[in-house]
Amino acid sequence: MSAQATKTIFFTSLFILSISVLRSQGALDGHYYDQTCPQAESIIAQAVRNATIYDSKVPARLLRMFFHDCFIRGCDASILLDSTPENKAEKDGPPNVSVRAFYVIDDAKAKLEKACPNTVSCADIVAVAARDVVTMSGGPFWNVLKGRKDGRVSNANDTVNLPAPFLNVTGLIQSFAKRGLEIKDLVTLSGGHTLGFSQCASFLPRLHNFSAVHDTDPSMNPNFATMLKTKCPNPNTNGIAGQVLDSTAAQFDNDYYKQLVAGKGVFLSDQSLYIDERTRAIVESYANDQKLFFSEFASSMIKLGNVGVIEAGEVRLNCRRAN
């Protein structure tokens, strides 16, 4: 094959790929509700703000809600559907028991239905609320692309596909790749743990009987491990005991990455990002440059928000059940 023919095939493939990407993003629009419900984002922001005043855990829970929704069936608000006698829904799957804060979405939806009936999807409310908690906590702002439709299917068994806190980097890369997300997206979106808290069960294996050679995970800072062992003894009888995922848990910042560099990652999956050569340099760059992290986080959130977008679904009247 001639060099000219090879070049032609390459550029043709590149053009087709570009068109494909544009089409996947074209379903969503940052100005989607400008004409039909221009007050949509301000209504959602007010609901988020009101809830956060009374419960400081709301930001972390709403951000996690968005991640967990998009990672199962795409960003279709399937995480909001209630279980029925015939079906156990995603929200009742083990990884989602601590998400809670569903009432915030309910509040925003009720107000939106009064202002703009049958217009704003529950999936878009979750996406906008996730952006709002980041911004309200000191993080970056981005224009959320909107126009998602709501799904009708939600199965608790599907939550086994969520990235587990004990995964290594290879497992994490594979999980993110299935959603069209790259290694940089993995490291960047993991920074959402800057607003996180975990109960002991998710990291207890790192503290006790870690391996035949080490009782405690050797990648963990020894002083940090001692502190965590005090909070989370084995066996642990305190069901609410746990640890914030960085030292400034109410503030969206780059401290999460600084903690990883210091060996103070709480989850094995988090600390692995610093241990593994494929991700270490990105962790270090974010630890050293908060502005860079903020910029990349906004980009990766937009990318995550495009996962599994439904164009032919419905706009639920009540986020807890299909129409």
Q: Any catalytic annotation for residue 68?
A: yes
> Contact, 27 vs 147, CB < 8 A?
yes
Between the two ends of the chain, the Cα-to-Cα distance in Å is 56
In the chain, DSSP assigns E strands to: 197-199, 242-244
> Contact, 213 vs 243, CB < 8 A?
no
Q: Tokens 């279709």 label which residue?
A: 76
For residues 232 and 12, give the distance between their C-alpha atoms in angstroms, rounded to a whole number.
57
Q: Which of 31, 68, 208, 214 is catalytic?
A: 68
Q: What is the dihedral of CA 94, 98, 101, 103, to 10 degrees?
A: 50
Q: Tokens 């969206």 label which residue?
A: 252
3-state DSSP of 155-216: CHHHHHHCCCCCCCHHHHHHHHHCCCCCHHHHHHHHHHHHHCEEEHHHCHHHHCCCCCCCCC
For residues 233 and 305, give the distance between their C-alpha atoms in angstroms, rounded to a whole number.
39
For residues 28 and 295, give the distance between their C-alpha atoms in angstroms, rounded to a whole number.
20
The catalytic residue positions are: 68
